[in-house]
Amino acid sequence: MSAADTSIIGTVQKARKLAALAGLLASPYILAALVILVLLFFIVLLTLFPFLIFADKESLSADAAGSSSSWYTVPTQLDADGSFYFWPAPSIANISSTFGYRDIGDGLEGHEGIDIANGPAKTENQPVYAMAAGTVTVAGAVNGYGQAIYIDHGGGLLTKYGHLSTVMDVKPGDSVQKGQRIGFIGAGKVGRSTGPHLHFQVEVNGRPVNPMDYVVMPNAGIPLELAYRALDIPAVIDFLKDRKSALANTTTLRMIDQAGKSQNVDPHLLLAITGQEQGFVPVTNNHASEIIRNPWNVFGCWCSGKGATLTTEEAAVIAAKTIVKLSQNRPEGRDPIQWLVARDNPHGYYASDTGWWIGVSKFYKALLAV
């Protein structure tokens, strides 16, 4: 067989295959399937197109933890009593330099703490407070820091406060309490610095660690009195059982505790509010199983609308966020719980009853005593 004959046979075979494929595509069933696939493609494209165009990067990213967004990262380390450590400069809610490597003009260097500053006018001479209880080991001149204070908190935990004023409230050997004022941020360039700021450093067994694993900026206005402290769940269950409360359940209390932690709000306060508004939800109430899902009456009521669709944790988070919002701009000397219902609060008020805070305060005090 010649090469020409072979070529002709190959061409004929290809033509037969194409004809068979054309015949297959001409089948009404195949045509119908193709039309359906094309329609489905365009439906999916039209559905996702607005989302892909208008969604931002954050909304396209899944929240792996499945938790509510917050204005800060929850610290991974808590004080011995289960509460957050104290932010060392409550009047400043700004970090000018973070933990880790940085370049301040002399090349990259490891920054072993965080710098807290908000411009000279709002930084110089601002008070500095102890992160936790401990013993002062250094209070004075330190190379690089100008003036500094070191506090040993025991168990290998040490904090350093650098670039301070020479005016100090403590001296080496003094015992200090959590949240106790120890000194002031220095004015101008104190030590090796580019301007006034507090260098705050946390060490564990001599190794610098990220201070943000221990403290949280107070930019939500939550006062220390209402800040998160962990529930002693077994003790709280006994407290609630004495009141025949449907809230006396480990799973329920864990959800309330987690909600409080996510917003830096004391879960004891959230429970105190249920005591004032729902009498701690007595088990004898015919709707107890429904009420415990929203005993704060967020969205108006536990009984109808969106308020009836929430889980306990979802309702608790909303209640906690409300407390955060209402706690802002509290005048000095005002009771932090009374401020939540004060009529001169520019952010609104939690309850229509102006005496609400008295009952909440009573239950809060009782829960803290647990």
Q: What is the pLDDT of residues 7-58, one digit of tens each?
A: 555 565 665 665 555 565 556 666 666 677 777 766 655 444 333 333 333 2
Average model confidence (pLDDT) across the chain: 83
The torsion defined by the Cα of 210, 211, 214 and 218, in degrees rounded to 10, comes to: -130
pLDDT value at position 228? 84
What pTM does this model have?
0.59
pLDDT value at position 346? 94
Lowest mean pLDDT among 23-32, 228-237, 278-287: 23-32
pLDDT tens by residue, 321-368: 999 999 988 998 899 999 999 999 999 999 999 999 999 999 999 999
Cβ neighbors of 309 (< 8 A, separation 6 or more) are none
Residue 229's pLDDT band (cuts 50, 70, 90): confident
pLDDT value at position 50? 37
Q: In this structure, are residues 247 and 295 in contact, taking their beta carbons and an 8 Å threshold?
A: yes
Q: In this structure, are residues 83 and 219 in contact, taking their beta carbons and an 8 Å threshold?
A: no
In the chain, the largest separation of any two C-alpha atoms, in whole Å, equals 109
User: Is 90 exceeded by the pLDDT of residue 305?
Assistant: yes
Between the alpha carbon of residue 215 and those of residues 85, 106, 122, 202, the distances in Å are 5, 29, 21, 10
User: Is 60 exceeded by the pLDDT of residue 133?
Assistant: yes
Lowest mean pLDDT among 93-107, 118-132, 153-167, 289-303: 93-107
DSSP state of 83: B
pLDDT value at position 222? 78
